[in-house]
Amino acid sequence: MKHASIHTPEHAELVLLLKDLRLKAGLSQVEVAEALGRPQTYVSAVEVGQRGIDLLQVRELCNLYGLGFPKFAELFEARLKSRESTKRPPRRRRKD
């Protein structure tokens, strides 16, 4: 059985890039969520890789971050080659 795309290294690079772009744009998760008309937990779930995201949603985020989609595609391809996600420590989970 084929695994879901959210469990791939490519998805890890995608969500890391989206988070980095949000931070570079100087936006909080709350600000992005408000602009999208979604709860903050949606943005968080996307950025930690718990939620899939489609091309139109990526494009919408690019617009919010002041980045054209073609430039985003270039950055994403570069990230895939550099495997940035493997260079960063894993996110620690909160204990409930």
Residue 48 structure tokens: 């930690």
Are the CB atoms for 29 and 15 separated by under 8 Å?
Answer: no
**C-alpha span between 76 and 84 (Å, rounded):** 10
Residues of the chain with pLDDT under 50: 1, 96
Give pLDDT, residue 72. Answer: 97
Handedness of CA 63, 69, 74, 76 (dihedral sign): positive
Give pLDDT, residue 54. Answer: 93
Give pLDDT, residue 1. Answer: 46
The pLDDT tens digits of the residues spanning 33-44 come to 999 999 999 999
The pLDDT tens digits of the residues spanning 63-73 come to 999 999 999 99
* Cα–Cα separations (whole angstroms), residue 1 to 9, 88, 95: 18, 30, 32
Q: In terms of CATH, what superfamily is 9-82?
A: lambda repressor-like DNA-binding domains (1.10.260.40)
